[in-house]
Amino acid sequence: MTAEEKIYDVIIIGGGPAGLTAAIYAGRALLSTLMIERAMPGGQAATTDAIANYPGFPNEITGPELMTKMEEQARNFGLEVISADVDSIEAENKIKRIFAGGKEYKARSVIITSGADPNKLSVPGEDKFTGAGVSYCATCDGAFYIDKHVLVVGGGDSAIQEAIFLTRFAERISVVHRRDKLRAAKTVQQKAFDNQKIDYFWDSVVEEIKGSDKVSSVILKNVKTDESKEIEIDGVFIYVGITPNTGFLPPAVKTDDRGFIITDESLQTAVPGVFAAGDVRKKLLKQIVTAVSDGAVAATAVEKYLENFS
């Protein structure tokens, strides 16, 4: 039987830590499980260099390594994976229909673990130089900047952790932050403040990214003084938050004003049989450890939901 002919117990949309953990738990509960993932399983976590706060790895583990292990574990429990972009879901009936890559897949339940994508600054030059000096992934592109001067935009955990990571390659890393205090965890901040290669443009925003064939400078504006200045730079790494991937959802699946899915305690959405887990869900802490926890809860809730399915 092909994947399109089957009716799965559960279809998981997205293959980051939440989706892979949901797959492990669903597999162990002997639920027939299909994962639809737009690229390779691993999600945003696979682009993270050093993971220092995931329990069990006192000497850190890289994102790609951790995610490869999670995928292997999920596949050991019988997970099927299809590579496609989900376009839409019809979720009002008991059998859910998922439309992806021009095909239709069916399941008794759905777990949405589609995660979130990096936000853009939306300034002139950003799109033009993406891949030519503008990057959203230090793990992917950091090695191009050996002995160079790069800018990291943002003050959250991602920005500061990746600024620290870039010190392996670049000679100088300048963090541009729109306020005078970082948002990142205090321990991460301290590590960055202790690193001589990192300096800061406080109360500043990027107004424009300039260059010819690749980035050569940026215009920074100080939001307190309104003064603008141009500084020469070899690369710009942008980490200004994330937006959930929810474009394919029917309106009946309720979200908050930023698009994050609202769930109940069992991670069920406003639509019976549709669950959400990981970064795509509205919650306090978005980390790998909470994503895997969500994945386990959602798969267990699915198991209970299917016990009463007729």
Tell me the catalytic residues: 137, 140-141
Residue 158 within binding range of ligand NAP, rule CB under 6 A? yes
- Cα atoms found within 13 Å of the Cα of residue 150, Cβ hemisphere only: 32
Spatial CA neighbour of 18 closest among 264, 290, 305, 208:
290
Q: How far is CA 45 from the centre of its chain?
A: 7
Of 32, 40, 77, 156, which one interacts with ligand NAP (CB under 6 A)? 156
Residue 9 within binding range of ligand NAP, rule CB under 6 A? no
Residue 168 within binding range of ligand NAP, rule CB under 6 A? no
Residue 278 within binding range of ligand NAP, rule CB under 6 A? no
Q: CA 120, CA 240: separation in Å to the nearest integer?
A: 7
Residue 241 within binding range of ligand NAP, rule CB under 6 A? yes
Residue 221 within binding range of ligand NAP, rule CB under 6 A? no
> What's the closest the beta carbon of residue 91 comes to ligand NAP, in angstroms?
27
The H or E element spanning position 21 is helix 17-28
Spatial CA neighbour of 242 closest among 87, 152, 141, 116:
116
Six-digit token string for 93 = 């009936």
Nearer to ligand NAP, 115 or 273 (CB): 115
C-alpha distances in Å from residue 149, one per residue of 79, 197, 199, 223, 285: 44, 10, 11, 23, 32
Strand order in the sheet with 228-232: 204-211, 215-222, 228-232
Q: CA 152, CA 136: separation in Å to the nearest integer?
A: 10
Of 75, 148, 178, 282, which one interacts with ligand NAP (CB under 6 A)? 178
Instruction: Choose the stretch contacting ligand NAP; rule: CB under 6 A; options: 92-100, 132-140, 225-233, 238-246.
Output: 238-246
Of 133, 155, 273, 278, which one interacts with ligand NAP (CB under 6 A)? 155
> Which residues in the 57-116 window bind ligand NAP by CB under 6 A?
none
Of 136, 239, 260, 305, which one interacts with ligand NAP (CB under 6 A)? 239
C-beta of residue 11 within 8 angstroms of C-beta of residue 91:
no
> What's the closest the beta carbon of residue 156 comes to ligand NAP, in angstroms?
2
Instruction: Count interface residues toward ligand NAP (CB under 6 A).
Output: 20
Of 106, 128, 172, 183, which one interacts with ligand NAP (CB under 6 A)? 183
DSSP state of 14: -
CA angle, 264 then 75 then 77, to 5° = 70
Nearer to ligand NAP, 291 or 298 (CB): 291
Residue 154 within binding range of ligand NAP, rule CB under 6 A? yes
C-beta of residue 210 within 8 angstroms of C-beta of residue 125:
yes
Instruction: Choose the stretch contacting ligand NAP; rule: CB under 6 A; options: 97-105, 126-134, 176-184, 294-302.
Output: 176-184
C-beta of residue 225 within 8 angstroms of C-beta of residue 209:
no
Residue 205 within binding range of ligand NAP, rule CB under 6 A? yes
> What's the closest the beta carbon of residue 301 comes to ligand NAP, in angstroms?
23
> What's the closest the beta carbon of residue 256 comes to ligand NAP, in angstroms?
14
| Number of residues that this document lists for the chain | 310
Which residues here bind ligand NAP, judged by CB under 6 A?
53, 121, 153-159, 161, 178-179, 183, 205, 239-242, 286-287
